[in-house]
Chain A
Amino acid sequence: MAEKHLLEIKNLTIHYQTDYGTVHAVEGFNLEVGNGETLGLVGETGAGKTTTAFGIMQLLPEPAGKVVAGEIYFRGENLLGKSKTEMKKILGKQIAMIFQDPMTSLNPVMTVGAQIEEMIKLHEPGTKEEIKEKAKKMLEVVGIPAVRQDEYPHQFSGGMKQRVVIAIALSCNPMLLIADEPTTALDVTIQAQVLDLMKKLKDDFKTSMIMITHDLGVVAEICDKVAIMYGGKVVEYATKESLYTKPYHPYTVGLFNSIPDLDSEQDRLNVIDGLPPDPTDMPSGCSFHPRCPHKMPICSQKSPSKVVVGSEHHVYCYLYEQEGAL
C-alpha cells in the first residue's frame, strides 16, 4: 500500500438495522483524499454522506449501525482493523470532525474553554497553564476573544458556536478534518464568514479536508476535488475544474441544472424528477435509474463500473461504458 493518498476508502458498506428493515446507508463506497487536498462530498439528504463520515471516525450509532464490508486506509493503515484504544489516539489528534449543528454539538454544561482544553489535554499533555494558554490561543485563532473562555455555549450565537467547534477540531492540528455541512444550520451571512474562516485555517494549518455538503456553491468556494454521492455510493469523482466544465453523470448534470441561473430569464427551477431512493429498498443496478432521463435496460440489472473520462475524473454510468460515447 503506497502512501500516495492520505485516505483511501475501498468498497465501504454500512448498514443500519431498524424496525423497518435494513437501511443500506453506504454501499460499495470508494474514495481517495490526497495530502493537503480538500474534497467536497456532495449529495442529497439521505445519500449517506454523514454515515460515511461516522464510518471513518468509527462513531456509528451502536448497535444499529455496522460497517459490513470495506477498508478505510488512513496513512496506509486500515482504520477498521484498529482497536478502540488505537482509534482513540487517532481521533482528535489525526482526524477531527466538525458537526452539522453547532447548537447541539457543544456540551451545554461545560465552558467552551474547558471543551477546547479537553481535546488538548487528551493529545498534547502539558501543564495546566500551557493547556489553558493553547486553548485561549485557539479561541483567538477563530476570532473569539480569549476572555470568553469561561462562558457557556448558551451565551454564544450559532456562528460563534461553530467557531468554537472549529477551534476544538483544529486544536491538535489534525491531518484530516471532516466537516459535516458546517454551515448549513447557520444564517446566510454567517455562512460566508465561517466558510472564509475555514478556508483560511485549512491553509494555515495545512490540513486535508473532507467537506460534506449539498451546496455546489460551497464546493466552488473551498474544494479542490469533488465526489458526487448518490444512494450510498460515489457516482462521479473529479477535480473541481473538470467537474464544473463538464459533468458526466446524469445525476451530476441534474444537480448543476437545478442551480438557478441569475443571468437568464427562468420561470421555474429545473429539478430532478422523482424522489431520493428508499434506503431500505434500494433500486437494483444503478440506484439512480428510476429517476434517470437516459435510462437503458442494463441500468436496472447491474451496477455500472468505473469509467475514466479524463485525468482525475471518473464516473459510474453505462452511458460512457460504450466505446465512442465520449
Chain B
Amino acid sequence: MLKYFARRILMLIPVILGVAFIVFFLLYITPGDPARIILGDQATEESVLQLREEMGLNDPFFVRFGKYAYNLVVNQDVGKSYVTKRPVWDEIMTVFPATLKLAGSSILLALLIGIPIGIISAIKQYSIFDNVTMLFALIGISMPVFWLGLLLILLFSVKLGWLPSSGYTTLNAMILPAVALGAQSIAIITRMTRSSMLEVIRMDYIRMARSKGQDENKVVFKHALGNALIPIITIAGLQFGRLLGGAVLTESIFSIPGIGRLMVESIKMRDFPVVQGGVLFVAISFSLVNLLVDLLYAYVDPRIKSQYK
C-alpha cells in the first residue's frame, strides 16, 4: 500500500510540470512586459531593455520554460513577485490560511448537512420531505455563488445587521462566506448521498440484514451507509479540491484575502510569478486531496484495499 502511494506521488511530478507548462505558456502570450511592470511607467526604454536582458526575457520560449522548470524541480523555487518583490512562496503562504479556513468550513458544513439530509431523503423517498429537499438541492446547485453571496449580505448584513459582510478572522465573519461557498456543495452532497443510499438500500445484503431481525436504524447506518460512503467520499473530495482553488468569487465578494483573490489581483497587475506559483500550488493541493480520497477508499472498502497489496 505504501508503495502504491509512493508511486502515486511520483506520478504527480509530470502532472505538476504539465500544469507549469500550460500556465507558463498562457502567461507568455499574455500581453504586458514584465520588465516594464517591475520598473514602472516612469522608467526609460533603455533600462527596460537592460532588465529584459538580465531577466532572460529575450531568450526563446523553451529556454525560458526550461530554466523555470529547472528552478521548480531542483530548487523548489518559483521566483519573486514583480510587485512586492517578496518570494512567491511567502505570498502564497500569507493568504493560504484564509482560503483553507473558508474551504474547510464550507466542506464541513456540506458534510454535516448534506449526508444526514440525503439519508433521510432516501429512506423517505417520494415523501414531502424528500420532494422539498430535492427541490432545494436543485436550487442550491443552480444558485450562482456570487449572487447568493450578495443576497446573504443584503439580508444578514444590510437589512438585519446580524453578521459582518466582510472579513474572515472571527467566527461570525466566517458564517456568510462559508454558507455562500458551501451551498452548492451541500446540494451536491445531499443529492449524491440520496442516490447512493437509494442504490444500496435495494441490495440483497440489506434485505439479508433485515431478515436477521436487525433494527432498521442499524440496517441503515451500519449496512447501507457503510456501502454508500464511497461515492460520497469521492464527491466530497472533488468538492473540497474545487473549493480550495475555486473560491475566487466568494473571496472577492466577502473581501477575504485568499488564494483566489491573490490570483485575480496578480493577473490584473500582470504579476506573472505569483499567478504561476499560485496555480501550481492549487494544482498540487488538488492532487493531494485526490490522493487522500483514494486513501480513504481503502479504509472504507476492503475490496479496494486488497487491490493495493
Contact = CB atoms under 8 A, between A and B. Distances in A.
Complex contact flag A–B (Cβ < 8 Å): yes
Contact residues on B (Cβ < 8 Å of other chain), bracket:
20 to 34
Contact of B213 (A54, A123, A152): A123
Nearest to B206: A107
Interface in B244-270: none
B108 to A, nearest CB: 24
A96 interface: yes
A90 B300 CA distance: 32
B292 interface: no
Contacts of A303: none
Given A152-B303, A155-B306, A122 B214 contact: yes
Interface string A112-137: 00000011001100000000000000
13 contacts: A92-B212, A96-B212, A99-B204, A104-B205, A105-B204, A106-B205, A107-B226, A109-B302, A110-B223, A118-B214, A123-B213, A154-B302, A168-B208
A99 B207 CA distance: 9
Given A99-B208, A101-B204, A165-B208, A109 B213 contact: no
Given A152-B303, A154-B302, A154-B306, A107 B213 contact: no
A168 to B, nearest CB: 7
Contacts of B306: 152, 154-155
Given A57-B211, A106-B205, 7 more contacts: A59-B211, A87-B213, A96-B211, A99-B204, A100-B204, A104-B204, A108-B303
A87 B215 CA distance: 11
Given A61-B202, A88-B215, A110-B226, A105 B301 contact: no
Interface string B289-309: 000000000001111001000
Given A109-B227, A154-B306, A91 B205 contact: no
What 6 pairs across the A-B complex have the smallest Cβ distances? A91-B213, A92-B213, A152-B302, A92-B212, A104-B204, A105-B204
Interface in B202-234: 202-205, 207-216, 223, 226-227
Nearest to B209: A107
B133 to A, nearest CB: 18
Given A61-B202, A154-B303, A155-B306, A106 B214 contact: no
A105 B300 contact: no
